[in-house]
Amino acid sequence: MNNSRLEYLKNVKRIVVKVGSSTLTHSTGLLNLSRIENLVRQFSDAHNRGIEVILVSSGAIATGVGKLGLKEKPKTIPEKQACAAVGQGILLHMYEKLFSEYGKIVAQILLTREDISHRMRYLNATNTFYALLEQGVIPIVNENDAIVVDEIKFGDNDTLSAMVASLVNADLLILLTDIDGLYDSNPKLNPEAKFISHVKEITEEIIASAGDAGSSLGTGGMITKIHAAKIATSSASSMIIVNGDAPNVIKEILDGKEIGTFFEAQNRPLKAKKHWMAFGTKPNGNIIIDNGAEKALLKSHKSLLPKGILSVQGTFSEGSVVSILNSKEEEIAHGITNYNSSEIDAIKGLNSCDIEKKLGYKNYDVVIHTNNMVILN
């Protein structure tokens, strides 16, 4: 038994649990009622232990597929949205009915990436979650699949659940899936694959272990789960990937049983604002910088001056989150800019003392302050 894992789980007070489509449905696409009933009982029991529970549930599209009698998951966005619109109501009705048998109240929250990227909507979402949790409600979260378009999609509920864990400062994110956890290679292809029970740090080797997407009913593979782990652990949430088939999987996790793959929370997590800049936002443009500026940002944690800027890509306003690229156009940071794109284009390469001469005014000496910047690994 890993003592650090056991000690951590003893103190867990708030969990986010993501349930995948493959866990919730049969291969036909119809709901696996006995498994859902078992999971609801486990969530309710965890709630009775005094642990706050947020459920991120896949399955709306798959449920719609089953209800409409389709033979396979639709491929076009309008067809997926139609299935989601049908399936979401069925899924929530099922959860509400089952949770009510244990005296639990549920609430539905549908999110898009835009809700996370927009700072005020992000804060409003946080306040909504906290208000529900204070009332003893179990929030049930899904992506707003019925209206979402590619530009504002999370793309998978692994990423969504990690962002929710960050949003509510959860102690633990549990990904229930159809595999036992992380292996050093794909166990379906390599019978000699070795199971990895504990990940202290997400290294290149860990990322290389991730395989392709799994079942035909889901959208995420192991690589999306590793990405989710990076998001969660950098906001001080630990994460477990575990097989959702086990009869008492939630209880066993909370009791400290060593099942699944445990990703350890970082000792020095990103502060909330910088975590939002790193993972919650979709940058509105790019600023390309020279080698000197790159060194100043990465090595000395300096602010970005106009002197080190080579070029600007895209159109954005003051206060936008942008990507900072090095001279090879590799992304190295995100930051909130003090000037709009046309202003930056005009002052690029200049010393700060020449900004006013060029623009006729100067609000800031720096284009992006170090306090409004997050360096990406």
Q: Residues comprising the binding site?
A: 18, 58, 145, 157, 177-178, 219-225
Calculate Rg over the CA atoms of the chain.
22
- How far apart CA 262 and CA 232 sit, in angstroms, is 12
Burial of residue 135, with CB atoms counted within 10 A of its CB: 0-12 exposed, 13-18 middle, 19 or more buried = exposed
- How far apart CA 239 and CA 261 sit, in angstroms, is 8
- How far apart CA 104 and CA 375 sit, in angstroms, is 42
Q: Are 216 and 28 in contact (CB under 8 A)?
A: no
Residues annotated within a binding site for substrate:
58, 145, 157
- How far apart CA 235 and CA 18 sit, in angstroms, is 17
Residues annotated within a binding site for ATP:
18, 177-178, 219-225
- How far apart CA 180 and CA 348 sit, in angstroms, is 52
- How far apart CA 57 and CA 160 sit, in angstroms, is 10
